[in-house]
Amino acid sequence: MRLDRNDAVLVVIDVQERLMPVIHDRFEVEQNLERLIRGAQLLGVPVLVTEQYVQGLGPTVEPLRQALGDGYRPIEKQCFSALGCAPFAAQLGALDRRQVLLAGVETHVCVYQTARDLLAGGKQVWIAADAVSSRTVRNRDIGVQRMLADGARLSSTEMALFELLETAGTEEFRAIARIIK
């Protein structure tokens, strides 16, 4: 089974201004998230963005808001699992896509609980391992291990983008290659 651009959606979980300064490998995670967003947009893959308790954690970090451009329409939530938020569930359902590529923070809380609920609902879930993190490496690793044990598939930013792309020698390939570099 592989990611298919016609059946996939990228979900970016809670990459917010007041949370990111304490996240392990923050800059690498943000850079990979920006690559995923730009690549998804280029390939026509929808992007959904959540924000947890905006009053306390602020909006999505500026580089990602810029990458999203007009597509920056965050879904505010209070539940840890994005599927516990009716507007998110409705928007995901309206897309009618079976595959979800998950990225964001924190791996062991909101990303994990969202993955668990997506899997329970019959979705195929991929985790962009270099685009998820937590405050500690241990919590990040435990979150990834739990998602894999529950049936998620492991990927990386570059792996996911090239899997969605499928073929080289096209203008899309050259554009994705520029995003990766």
Residue type, 104: G
Residue type, 76: E
Vertex 138: Cα angle to 162 and 102 (nearest 5): 30
Task: Determine whether 77 is an active site residue.
Answer: yes
Name the catalytic one among 14, 85, 117, 123: 14
State both tokens at 63. 């580089």
Name the catalytic one among 4, 7, 25, 77: 77
Question: How many angstroms separate the Cα of 45 from the Cα of each of 10, 99, 106?
Answer: 7, 11, 23
Name the catalytic one among 25, 70, 110, 130: 110
Round the CA-based radius of gyration of the chain to a whole number and report it.
Answer: 15
What residues are labeled active site? 14, 77, 110
